Amino acid sequence: MDGRRHSWFVPAFSLALTLALSVLPLPDSVAPLRPDWVAVVLVYWSLTTPHRFSLLTAFWMGIAIDTLSGALLGQNALALLVVVYLAERFHLRLRVFPVSQLALTVFGLLGLYEFILFWVDGVAGRTVPLVERWVPPLTGTLVWLAMLMFFDRGQREARERL
Amino acid sequence: MSAPGRNTPGFGRSGFSVGARFVLLAVVCVALMLLDQRNQHLQQVRGALSVVVYPLRVLVDLPFSTWQSVRSSFAQRETLIAENEQLKRERLEAEFRLQRLESLETENARLRELLDSTARVGSRALIAEILAVDLDPYRQRFDLNRGLVDGVFVGQALIDAQGVVGQVVRVGPLTAEAVLITDADHAVPVSVNRNGLRTIAVGTGDSGRLRLPYLTNNADIHEGDLLVSSGLGGVFPSGYPVARVIEVRLRPDQAFAEIIAEPASALDRDREVLLVWNATGEAPRAAEAAAAASVADVQ
């Protein structure tokens, strides 16, 4: 019972923290490096403990980012939905990958996330630069690797629980 | 791919399959985006949502505002005295200018009466604090701690001590979202203070630069010229400093010159800005934001 409550608290806290991180003011020189925190964390959780979050969570998190960041309502929600759906759909196949390939996959997913945002911006006729777009997936993958190492023990426990 | 219900991830307990739920939610997203894009259909929804996330905004802002108040309460006596002296000096200067301004204002009113045109001097202003919250990194936007409750409206001009800062693009009950004049989708009608030459200053996405793309090679404009808001378009009150020209590059092979200007206000250092109401009290046409955007698009 105690373990269950714990397992509910950690992800909920991580999601709230993630939202805060994604709007935390950074100096202009560092700001372009900011990873897409929410996407990284949701991908991390859906690859390690796939049954924890529903698509609905991804949807609401996306709506929260849209509201916070003043983006088109539904833009981040759609991108998150696609990424989380893919991660959860194929987590059984991805799970057997070595870490290097897994990292590549995560980079691909985060790249897709950025691409959807960029695409929607383009369709909506908003002017956005293209050049800096590939940086957040890169830093996001690094953050994901760091999370993997840091939470490795917890992750192994979670796998055993499955 | 696999036996249904065995290996397909079960997201939840509802009757829908995962794929169906994904498609459903994706359709909802697209519908939301369409509604949001087609003018302010979702004003109310966004307002409600912004109230829901308001605590998070305040929480993120908290360390920064706390740090500032701590720093000011532990400020050295000497620095306080020095600051006080400086402020007194500045106030004296400002009052001196104000005296002249008052006589000029009456003179202006008299002249306008002679010309039978309406006077537009005098307007109401409210100080708003910028919340230390980073929005979309690719656009120059920020949040203010004033909203509908304070009478803020879409298209309202923002000004600081040095000049024009931007305008309000979205209003929630407690907060408002504003766009800087340097946003890549923003344009300000300006005129050159020296000779009244009118043009449009377009944002670049870099908070230290504005472009003047619609001036020909033989236009009378030099480095150092002050650009003030021309008041055309009805959003920005006329006569406020917008930017100073820092570079004029003539391109003989092209019809238009390449002119870069530096914003007059401290766009990336401001913590407080002024929300301005026109003297008439009526909210100007909110379509200006869209008009400004389309001007940028044409370019």
Q: Do the Cβ atoms of A74 and B7 come within 8 Å?
A: no
Least confident of A33-42, A108-117, B12-21: B12-21
Q: Is the pLDDT of residue B52 over 80?
A: yes
- DSSP lists the bridge partners of residue B249 as B258
pLDDT per position as a tens digit, B83-135: 899 999 999 888 888 888 888 888 887 777 776 655 454 567 888 888 876 66
Q: Is the dihedral of CA B95, B96, B100, B103 positive or negative?
A: positive
Nearest to B233 by CA among B193, B189, B274: B189
Q: Is residue B25 part of a domain?
A: no
Q: Is residue B171 part of a domain?
A: yes
User: What is the pLDDT at residue A81?
Assistant: 92
DSSP letter (8 states) at residue B256: B
Query: Does the ipTM exceed 0.90?
Result: no
Query: CATH number of the domain at A2-26+33-161, out of 1.10.1760, 2.60.120, 1.10.287, 3.40.1130?
Result: 1.10.1760
pLDDT per position as a tens digit, A86-134: 988 888 888 788 888 889 999 999 999 999 988 888 888 776 667 777 8
Q: What are phi and psi of B47, to 5 degrees?
A: -60, -50
Q: Is A143 helix (H, G, I), strand (E, B) or coil?
A: helix
Residue of B2, B6, B7, B11 best to disrupt the A interface, most CBs of A under 10 A: B11
pLDDT per position as a tens digit, B25-42: 899 988 888 888 876 677
Give Cα B238 to chain centroid, integer Å.
16
Q: Is the pLDDT of residue B4 over 60?
A: no
* CATH of residue B274: 2.40.10.340
Of A88, A89, A120, the CB nearest to B33: A120
Across residues B180-185, what is the average pLDDT? 88
Highest averaged pLDDT of the listed ranges A131-135, B42-46, B77-81, B292-296: B77-81
User: What is the pLDDT at residue B243?
Assistant: 93
Contacts of B137 in chain A (CB under 8 A): 31-32, 34, 132
Contacts of A64 in chain B (CB under 8 A): 49, 52-53
User: What is the pLDDT at residue A71?
Assistant: 81
Average pLDDT, chain A: 81
Q: Is residue B151 part of a domain?
A: yes
Ranges of each domain in chain A: 2-26+33-161
Residue of A21, A38, A83, A85 best to disrupt the B interface, most CBs of B under 10 A: A85
Of A67, A92, A126, the CB nearest to B46: A67
